Amino acid sequence: MSSGSGSRNTEPWGSFDDNLIQGGGSAVIDMENMDDTSGSSFEDMGEMHQRMKEEEEVAAEAAATEDDVADDGEFLGMKGLKGQLGRQVADEVWQAGKRQASKAFNLYANIDILRPYFDVEPVQVRNRLIESLIPVRMINFPQKIAGELYGPLMLVFTLVAILLHGMKTSGTVIREGTLMGTAIGTCFGYWLGVSAFIYFLAYLVNAQITMLQMLSLLGYGLFGPCIVLLVTYNIHFHFLFYGLWLLLGGLSTLRMVAALLSRTVGQTPRLLLCGTMALLHMLFLLYLHFNYHTIVEGQNQKHRGRSLWFSCCRSGAVRSARRALSRWFLCLCSNNFALSVTMETSTKFRPMTELPDFHEHRDVVIEALPPIGSQQPGELTGNTCSQVGHMTPVSSC
C-alpha cells in the first residue's frame, strides 16, 4: 500500500513521505506486508554489508571460490569464526574495543598535557641550576619563576639515587619495605607534599604563586641539598656537613624564601609562609643527612642503622614520637642551631629582640622551647640523641 501510489520515491528505501501524504489512515506501516521470515534487521544489514564487500572482492576471488561454492552451500555464517558473518562480527568487536581503549587512553594517559612544561633547552636548565643558589634581593616586585618540570624531575631522581647510595653505605635496614621504595617515597613525598602544603598556605595568605611555579621552585631548590648530600655521604666530617648545610642549604633556602617574599604582601603572611618554607627545607636536609648517617664509631652500632625516626614510626606510639622529636630538638638546641633557624624569619635579618612583637610574646616563645640551661650535657649522652648528633658509642636506643 505504501509503495503502490508513492511515485515520490526520493529515498531508495521509500521514504515516509508516502505515508504522511496519504494522511487518511494511520501512519503505521502495514504489518501484513512484512514478511515474517525476513529476519531481524541485523541479518539484513549483514547481508547488505556482505553484498557490498562481495562486489569489491568478486573479481579477485572468482577463480578461487568456484570450487568452494559447493562446500559452502550452507546457511550464511553458521560455520563459526571462519564464516564471513563471524569474521565480520569479530572485526566490528575489535574495532569497537580499539576505539574505546584509545578513547580511555587519550583521556587518562594523555601525556600531551605535560608536554609544554618540558620545553626547555639544556642551556636554560644549566642556568636555572646555577641561579637556584643565588638569592635575589629584589622583594618588592614579583620575581620571575620559571614554570618547567624537567629540571625539578631530574633533580628529584638524582636525589633518589644519592639517597640510595647513602642508605647502602650506612647499612640501613628497612624491615617493612624496600630501600628503593623508601628513597623514592621520601624524595617524591617531599617534593610533591611540601609543594602542595606551601601552595595551600600561599592560597590562604593570598600569595601570587601557582602550583606549577611552586613545584618548579622547590624542585630547583633541591640542587643545593643534592650537592651537600653527595659530598657528605662520602666524606664524613661533622663540621664539613654543618658548614655545607648552612652554606648551600642556606643559599637555596634564601633563594626560595626571597621568591616567596616577593609575591606576598603583609608582615604576618610573609612570616608564616617564608618561615614554614625555611624550616621545612633546612630540616629536610638535616633529616636526610642524619637519618642515613654511617656509624663510624662503635661496631655495635652497625645493626642499628635504623634511624630514630623509623623506630618511632614502627612503635606507633605518638608519645614516643613526640618524645623523640623533643629530644631531637634538644640536641639541636644544645648546639644552638634551632634558635637561629626558627627565629630567623625577619626580612632584613635583624636580631631577634628588635622584632616589634618579641617582647610581648617572649614568654610564649621561650616556653615553647625546652629549657636549655636546665639539662646538663651529661644527661644527653644517655639517650638516643647521641646517636644522631654526637656519635659516641652508646648502645642504648
Residues that bind another protein (CB under 8 A): 2-3, 9, 12-14, 33-35, 38, 44, 48, 50-52, 54, 57-58, 60-61, 64-65, 68-69, 72-73, 75-77, 82-85, 111, 114-115, 118-122, 125, 150, 153-154, 157-158, 161, 164-165, 168, 171, 173, 178-180, 302-303
Least separation in angstroms between residue 33's CB and another protein is 5
Q: How many C-beta atoms surround the C-beta of residue 312 within 10 A?
A: 19
Residues 50/88, Cβ–Cβ less than 8 Å: yes
The total number of residues written for the chain in this structure: 397
Residues 397/304, Cβ–Cβ less than 8 Å: yes
If the CB atoms of residues 58 and 325 are measured against another protein, the closer one turns out to be 58
> What is each CA distance from 116 to 132, 161, 369, in whole angstroms?
22, 27, 47
Least separation in angstroms between residue 84's CB and another protein is 4
- CA-based angle 274:275:281, to the nearest 5? 85
Least separation in angstroms between residue 288's CB and another protein is 18
Least separation in angstroms between residue 56's CB and another protein is 11
The grid coordinates of residue 389 equal 648528633
Amino acid at site 293? H
Three-state DSSP at 347 gives coil
Q: Report the run of H or E that residue 145 belongs to, with start and end.
A: none
The grid coordinates of residue 184 equal 623514592
Question: CA torsion sign, 212 to 214 to 220 to 225?
Answer: negative
- Nearest alpha carbon to residue 249 among 196, 193, 202, 288: 288
Least separation in angstroms between residue 310's CB and another protein is 15
If the CB atoms of residues 44 and 357 are measured against another protein, the closer one turns out to be 44
Least separation in angstroms between residue 287's CB and another protein is 22
> What is each CA distance from 391 to 154, 202, 303, 357, in whole angstroms?
33, 39, 14, 39
Least separation in angstroms between residue 317's CB and another protein is 25
Residues 46/75, Cβ–Cβ less than 8 Å: no
Contacts of 391 (CB under 8 A, 6+ apart): 238, 295, 296, 297, 298
If the CB atoms of residues 161 and 283 are measured against another protein, the closer one turns out to be 161
If the CB atoms of residues 4 and 378 are measured against another protein, the closer one turns out to be 4
If the CB atoms of residues 101 and 204 are measured against another protein, the closer one turns out to be 101
If the CB atoms of residues 146 and 161 are measured against another protein, the closer one turns out to be 161
81 - beta bridge partners?
A: 79
Least separation in angstroms between residue 268's CB and another protein is 40
CA distance 42 to 199: 58
If the CB atoms of residues 161 and 391 are measured against another protein, the closer one turns out to be 161
If the CB atoms of residues 173 and 204 are measured against another protein, the closer one turns out to be 173
| Cα distance between the two ends of the chain | 99
- Nearest alpha carbon to residue 169 among 312, 284, 314, 296: 296
Least separation in angstroms between residue 320's CB and another protein is 23
Q: Report the run of H or E that residue 81 belongs to, with start and end.
A: strand 78-81
CA distance 210 to 90: 50
Least separation in angstroms between residue 153's CB and another protein is 8
If the CB atoms of residues 32 and 363 are measured against another protein, the closer one turns out to be 32
If the CB atoms of residues 84 and 143 are measured against another protein, the closer one turns out to be 84
Least separation in angstroms between residue 309's CB and another protein is 19
Residue position matching grid coordinates 638546641: 333
If the CB atoms of residues 53 and 362 are measured against another protein, the closer one turns out to be 53
